[in-house]
Chains A and B, each alone.
Chain A
Amino acid sequence: MSTKYSGYLGRFLDIDLSTGKVGEYDVTDEMLEAYLGSKGLASKILYDTLSKGVNPLGEENVFIVNTGPLVNSGAPCTSRFNVTTKSPLTGGILSCNCGGNFGMFLKRAGFDGLILRGKASKPTWIHIEDGEVELKDAKDLWGLTTEEAQEKLPKGTGKMVIGPAGENAVLYACIISQERALGRGGAGAVMGSKNIKAITAKGNHKVPKANPEKFKKDVRKWVEILKEHPSTGEMMPEYGTAVFINRCNAANTLPTHNFKRGSFAEADAVSGETLAETRLTGNFGCASCVIKCGRRVEVDGKNVKGPEYETLGLLGPNLENPDLGLICDWNYQADLVGVDTVSLGNVLGFAMELNENGLWDNGLEFGKVDNISGVIDDIANRRGIGDDLADGVKRLSEKYGGKDYAMEVKGLELPAYEPRGAVGHGLGYAIANRGGCHIGGGYMVYFEANGPLTMDPLTTRAKPQLTAMLQTMLDALSDSGSCQFTGFTTIPKQAIELNPHGNVYRVVAKSLELMGPMMELILRFPKMLAFVPPMALMQHPRVITDLTGMKMTFGKFLEIGLRTYMIERLFNAREGFTGADDTLPRRSTHQVQEGGTDTTVPLNQMIRIYYRVRGLDANGAPKHDTLRRLGMRA
Chain B
Amino acid sequence: MPTVKFYASLRKVTGEREAQIQAGSVKEVLQRLSTDYDGELRRYLKISSILVNGKNVIHMKGKRTRLKPDDVVSIFPPLGGG
Footprint of B on A, CB under 8 Å? 230-232, 234-236, 238-244, 246-247, 250-252, 263, 268, 272-273, 293, 309, 421, 438-439, 443, 446, 450-452, 454, 456-457, 485, 488, 496-501, 505-506, 509, 596-597
Contact = CB atoms under 8 A, between A and B. Distances in A.
B82 A250 contact: no
A485 B82 CA distance: 8
A597 B30 CA distance: 26
Nearest to A500: B49
Interface centre among B47, B59, B82 (most CB of A within 10 A): B82
Interface centre among A230, A243, A454 (most CB of B within 10 A): A243
Dominant secondary structure at the B interface: mixed
Contact of A250 (B46, B47, B54, B59): B54
A251 B56 CA distance: 8
Contacts of B56: 251, 454, 457, 500
A500 B49 CA distance: 6
Contacts of B67: none
Contact of A231 (B26, B54, B62, B80): B80
Interface string B40-74: 00000011111100101111001100000000001
B24 interface: no
25 contacts: A230-B78, A231-B78, A235-B9, A235-B77, A236-B81, A241-B81, A243-B7, A243-B79, A244-B79, A246-B8, A246-B76, A250-B5, A252-B54, A263-B54, A273-B7, A450-B79, A452-B47, A454-B58, A456-B59, A457-B59, A497-B46, A497-B47, A500-B58, A501-B26, A501-B57
A421 B56 CA distance: 12
Given A273-B7, A506-B58, A250 B51 contact: yes
Contacts of B62: 501, 506
A250 B80 contact: no
Contacts of A273: 7-8, 11
Given A246-B7, A500-B50, A501-B26, A488 B80 contact: yes
B32 interface: no
Contact of A251 (B5, B51, B81): B51
B79 to A, nearest CB: 5
A451 B79 contact: yes
B7 A247 contact: yes
Nearest to B75: A250
Contacts of B78: 230-231, 235, 451-452, 496-497
Nearest to A239: B8
A241 B8 CA distance: 12
Contacts of A242: 81
Interface centre among B30, B48, B63, B81 (most CB of A within 10 A): B81
Contacts of B81: 231, 235-236, 239-244, 293, 309, 450, 485
